[in-house]
Amino acid sequence: MTDGERGTAGRAQAQVIAAAFRGGAELIVVRERHWEASTWRALLGDLAGARARGLRLVASRRLDLARALGLDGVHLGTDAVPVREARAWLGPSAWIGYSAHSGAEAQRAARDGASYVTLSPVFATDSKPGEPGRGCAWLADALIGLPIPALALGGITPARVAEVCAAGAWGVAAVAALGAAPDPERAAREFCTVLARARPGAEEVR
């Protein structure tokens, strides 16, 4: 997931996203909700080659831009358009993610047509100062009976991938640990390597 300069260490978003894709990340949630359509078009132009090779881009909350610009989908939350409406508007093939903070919320998103959910914060993270991580026991409870993939989010590092996968996470999501890394391509490759060991057949989603 991108998150302004915190998620890129001051580098251009396209540069960081392309590097992460080369390292194995396949889905990027672009959180820059304030961007104008022109900024999005420039990003899509810079990443046209990567998208042709399989990179998926989804917009945080911006259902209008996802449809108008032909993005791969949207990532929603409690303050956004309901999942059911987004699914009806974008169609059955769109990637629709949802930021859940409880098992009940994740189950509701799944019933309404979400493709995947993030569950957070598993560990303490700078993006939510003062909020303690909920831990892997909480994650395991939240995942019981969930019929769609769930990504562990919040303080995720390569060293923690095996732990969250053991709790039942299908994959992981990261912001600073990937985008702010000195070498985002190498960081993505490390995440993908440990994820493949922890859960064969699973796929990292950012």
Contact criterion met (CB below 8 Å) for 59 and 70: no
Round to whole Å and give the CA distance between 90 and 117.
17
- Which residues make Cβ contacts (< 8 Å) with residue 93, sequence separation at least 6? none
- How many residues make up the chain in this entry? 206
Q: Which of 47, 49, 150 is nearest to 97 (CA)?
A: 150
Instruction: Tell me the catalytic residues.
Output: 31, 99, 128
Round to whole Å and give the CA distance between 18 and 41.
16
Residue given tokens 């080659």 in the structure block: 49
